[in-house]
Chain A
Amino acid sequence: MIEKQEQPPLIRVENLSKTFILHVQGEARIPVFSDLSLEVAAGQCVALFGSSGTGKSTLLRSLYANYKPGSGHIWVRHGADWVDMATAVPHRVLEVRRETMGYVSQFLRVIPRISARDIVAEPLHALGIDLEQARAKAEVLLARLNIPEAMWDLAPATFSGGEQQRVNIARGFAVDYPILLLDEPTASLDAGNRAVVIELIREAKARGTALVGIFHDDEVREAVADAVFNVKAGELAA
């Protein structure tokens, strides 16, 4: 849809800071990062970089408004509007999450009694897409991620870690979000499934999706990332 040219930004992070204050542990203050600024354009994939504890995950979660930053802004292109995820009211955030921004977490949050197929189909269905149609798309994704058909009707509570992670990825890719956040999507996957995820990310980029991700696996990072953002230094490098 969008040709290779100067792409408009979809995410604009401005002077973002985050400090955890642990009241139950003697008011301990844990500064994570401060004064970060970052832009991510349509079709671009930015990998967050830094050693463990530098705040990659915290930044990613802040982008999704899962964590509330202390100061700064996270502007997100939502349809025709710019929404600041750091200050938006909850129902606005939920709307952005529903329509604009997807998030593949490290672990699947298992919902009791719901089948793998419906977990994947749910975000599509929430957008008003007919349940059967949503399930059909879910099945395509589950098949691509090599989840055996026999498991589609089962609730993933009993699945292995890798299987749960693949269900989680399928769920994240079910909707063609303009923005997608990935938290170590390939952490517990074998080479074959890693390749599928790389493919999915490339397809998303080709559609014009802006991606921000944490990739522990160098191979995956090199395959998909257009730029690397050093969280500790607050610098973007190609």
Chain B
Amino acid sequence: MNDTSPLLRVHNLSHAFGSLLACADISFELHSGEVLGVVGESGSGKTTLLNCLSARLMPTNGIVEYDLRDRGLTDIYALSEPERRFLLRTDWGVVMQNPRDGLRMNVSAGGNVGERLMAVGARHYGEIRSAAEDWLAKVEMDLGRIDDAPKHFSGGMQQRLQIARNLVTKPRLIFMDEPTGGLDVSVQARLLDLLRGLVRELKLSAIIVTHDLAVARLLADRLMVMKDGRVVETGLTDQVLDDPHHPYTQLLVSSVLQV
């Protein structure tokens, strides 16, 4: 494990929509194999931050550096757009809250998983197909559905398909926006369990935005608590949740219903 060089380094990142400051002055590092949870209530700037980090929204200020395989730490917004897009479909993955934004709803499950492979030049149908089968099995999907389009799938299946679609190129960093949002509790548990296993198995690094502290506790090694666009507290997940220091974090933690 490399202690010195982070996988992602964020320095003084801010983003404003007009006069509205959506995230302000955020700095942190993410190391290989680490899972960072970003928690906070709706409107706290979590999703804006995620979009800025994942090269999909140019921040107003600040630097996002990523450890490119061939170049080391590089300012991702200094890359050309095709380079950023390439990064997004190879070494990164983005799992959207709404599967409609992350899947091609009219393309079969197999095609959805295979797309990234074909995007990087795979031209052997048999190999693409067997890779798709592998990944569908890994996300516990019925292989009988490989040729069905996700518009006919349940929400939980769509989310699992999205995960398979992202992981097929063996990315090192995954961004997830409320991955369990809108799912039934039992479906959530299954998805969380799956994510947890995959993250560990594949030594993935991940940044997960969620408002659900239970999800954060289960998946994240480390938390950033956001309020009004600022990070108010950061630290080990269990430390932040069990011994919160900031007034807002204390409020957040004490507001969770115990089961």
- Which of B189, B235, B247 contacts A68, CB < 8 Å? B235
Q: Does B254 contact A (CB under 8 A)?
A: yes
Contacts of A92 in B (CB 8 A): 3
**Cα of A225 to Cα of B251 in the assembled complex, Å:** 39
Q: Does A111 contact B (CB under 8 A)?
A: yes
Asked whether A65 lies within 8 Å of B192 as measured between CB atoms, the reply is no
Chain B 185-201 interface 0/1 with A at a Cβ cutoff of 8 Å (1 = within): 00001101100100010
B247 CB to closest chain A CB, in angstroms?
A: 3
Q: Does B239 contact A (CB under 8 A)?
A: yes
Interface band, chain B: 20 to 34
Interface residues of B in 195-228 (CB under 8 A from A): 196, 200, 218, 221-222
Asked whether A113 lies within 8 Å of B190 as measured between CB atoms, the reply is yes
Asked whether A24 lies within 8 Å of B200 as measured between CB atoms, the reply is no
Asked whether A112 lies within 8 Å of B236 as measured between CB atoms, the reply is no
Contacts of A67 in B (CB 8 A): 239, 242-243
Asked whether B239 lies within 8 Å of A24 as measured between CB atoms, the reply is no
Between A22, A23, A95, the greatest number of chain B beta carbons within 10 A of the residue's beta carbon is seen for A23
**Cα of A55 to Cα of B4 in the assembled complex, Å:** 36
Interface residues of A in 102-117 (CB under 8 A from B): 111-114
Asked whether B250 lies within 8 Å of A23 as measured between CB atoms, the reply is yes
**Cα of A68 to Cα of B242 in the assembled complex, Å:** 10
**Cα of A22 to Cα of B247 in the assembled complex, Å:** 8
Interface of chain B, main secondary structure? helix
A150 CB to closest chain B CB, in angstroms?
A: 22
Asked whether A90 lies within 8 Å of B235 as measured between CB atoms, the reply is yes
Asked whether B251 lies within 8 Å of A90 as measured between CB atoms, the reply is no
Q: Does A94 contact B (CB under 8 A)?
A: yes
- Which of B3, B193, B242, B247 contacts A114, CB < 8 Å? B193
A-B contact count (CB 8 A): 54
Q: Does A4 contact B (CB under 8 A)?
A: no
Given A68-B239, A111-B193: A90 and B221 interface contact (C-beta under 8 Å): yes
Q: Does B238 contact A (CB under 8 A)?
A: yes
Contacts of B239 in A (CB 8 A): 65-68
**Cα of A164 to Cα of B220 in the assembled complex, Å:** 23
**Cα of A23 to Cα of B248 in the assembled complex, Å:** 8
Asked whether B222 lies within 8 Å of A90 as measured between CB atoms, the reply is yes
**Cα of A94 to Cα of B246 in the assembled complex, Å:** 22
**Cα of A126 to Cα of B245 in the assembled complex, Å:** 30
Question: Number of residues in A with C-beta < 8 Å to the partner?
Answer: 21
Between A24, A92, A95, A126, the greatest number of chain B beta carbons within 10 A of the residue's beta carbon is seen for A24
Interface residues of B in 8-43 (CB under 8 A from A): 31, 34
Contacts of B242 in A (CB 8 A): 61, 66-67
**Cα of A194 to Cα of B203 in the assembled complex, Å:** 38
Q: Does B256 contact A (CB under 8 A)?
A: no
Chain A 18-43 interface 0/1 with B at a Cβ cutoff of 8 Å (1 = within): 00111110000000000000000000
Asked whether B245 lies within 8 Å of A68 as measured between CB atoms, the reply is yes
Residues of B within 8 A of A (CB): 1, 3, 31, 34, 189-190, 192-193, 196, 200, 218, 221-222, 235-236, 238-239, 242-243, 245-247, 250-251, 254
Query: 3 smallest A-B Cβ distances: which pairs?
Result: A23-B247, A112-B189, A67-B243
New contact pairs (17) apart from A23-B246, A111-B218, A112-B192, CB-CB < 8 Å: A23-B251, A24-B247, A24-B251, A24-B254, A61-B242, A66-B243, A67-B242, A68-B235, A68-B243, A68-B245, A91-B31, A91-B34, A93-B236, A94-B236, A95-B1, A111-B196, A114-B193
